[in-house]
Amino acid sequence: MNDFCVFILTHGRPDNVITYKTLRKQGYTGQIFVIIDNEDETADKYYENYGDEVIMFDKSAIAKTFDEGDNFGDRRTIVYARNACFQIAKDLGFEYFIELDDDYTSFVYKFNDRMEYMEKPIKNIGLIFSALFKYYKQTISDSIAIAQNGDFIGAHESSMVKGYRRRKCMNTFFCCIERAFTFTGRINEDVNTYISLGAKGWQFFTVPNVSIIQKTTQHSDGGMTDIYKNSGTYIKSFYTVMYAPSCVKVKMMISHHRRLHHQITWKNAVPVILHEKHKK
C-alpha cells in the first residue's frame, strides 16, 4: 500500500470531514491527505485539526489549466481540487491515489460471495482499496469508481444488480499519475469528464461490488451545498448537455422530490469496439 494514498477533497467543513472518520472507523490505516484550496476561509482550522495531513493548492492557478464551461467567476466547486490532485500526488511521491468527497458515512458491500444482492458494512476498507488498486493496475482503464448507493435504486431490479456495467465514473476516482486526465466544467465535472473523454475512447467504469453511502446533497453546510441551492440541478445538468449535446439531455427525474437531471443515451455516447479476435 506504499504506492497509493487517499485524498479527501473538502472546503469549508474543517469540523465535519465525515469521510476521514469513516475511513479510520472502517479500518483504513494508510495515508490520508485532506485537500483544501487557498481561498478557503477555514484553512487555519483544517491545519489545527489535521496538521501535516492538510495539502493546500492554488485555486486560481488551477483555474487557468482547464475549461470551466462558463464565465460566472464562482469557484466554489470541487473541480479545481480534482484537477490539482494529479500534481499533488506526483509531488508527494505517489503513483496511485483515490479522490474521495468529504461526506461518506459508510462503505458497504453490495453482493455476497455468491454474487447475491445484499448490503453489509465493510470492516477493513484498506483491503478493499488494495484489491481495487490491484485490479486497476491490471486494466487499461483511465479511472474506476466505487458504486454509489443511488446506483441500486430498485434493489434486485436495478440495472447494477442485473449486471449492466456502467461506463461512468463518479464521486470516487481511482487514479494514476501516468494516466492523468483533466476534469472539465465548473459543475457536474464528473459527468462532463466521463462523457466528453469517453466519446474519444477514454475508459471509465464503475465497480458494482462495493458502494459508498453519503449524506444527502444540500443537507450539509459548506462544500458545494450553496452552489446547488443557488442554481439547482437544471443548470448543473445543462453543463453536460453543453459538452455532449449529441447524447445528453435534461429530463425530469421522478423521486421523492421531482427534479431535473441529465439523461445519457449511451449508444450515442461512447464507442463500443470489439476485439479483432472476434472477427469472422
Which residue do the cell numbers 441500486 mark? 152
Classify the phi-psi angles of 188: left when phi > 0, otherwise alpha if psi is within -120 to 50, otherwise beta.
left
Do 269 and 244 touch, CB atoms closer than 8 A? yes
Residues of the chain with pLDDT under 70: 1, 163-165, 217-232, 254-258
pTM (2 d.p.): 0.89
Cα 173 to Cα 193: distance, rounded to the nearest angstrom: 12
The torsion region of residue 93 among left (phi > 0), alpha (psi -120 to 50) and beta comes to left
Residue 204, classified by CB atoms within 10 Å of its CB into exposed (0-12), middle (13-18) or buried (19+), is buried
* Res 225: pLDDT: 54
Q: What is the pLDDT of residues 150-175, one digit of tens each?
A: 888 777 777 787 766 678 999 999 99
Q: Which domains does the chain have, with CATH numbers?
A: 4-222 (3.90.550.10)
Angle between helices 189-198 and 225-243 (to 10 degrees): 20
Whole-angstrom distance, CA of residue 106 vs CA of residue 130? 18
3-state secondary structure of 217: coil
What pLDDT shows up at residue 233?
73
The per-residue pLDDT for 222 is 56
pLDDT value at residue 216 = 75
- pLDDT for the residue 253: 72
Cα–Cα distances (Å) from 279 to 34, 118, 274, 276, in that order, read: 49, 39, 8, 5
pLDDT digits (tens, 9 = 90+) for 12-63: 999 999 999 999 999 999 999 999 999 999 999 999 999 999 999 999 999 9
Are 11 and 222 contacting, i.e. CB atoms less than 8 angstroms apart?
yes
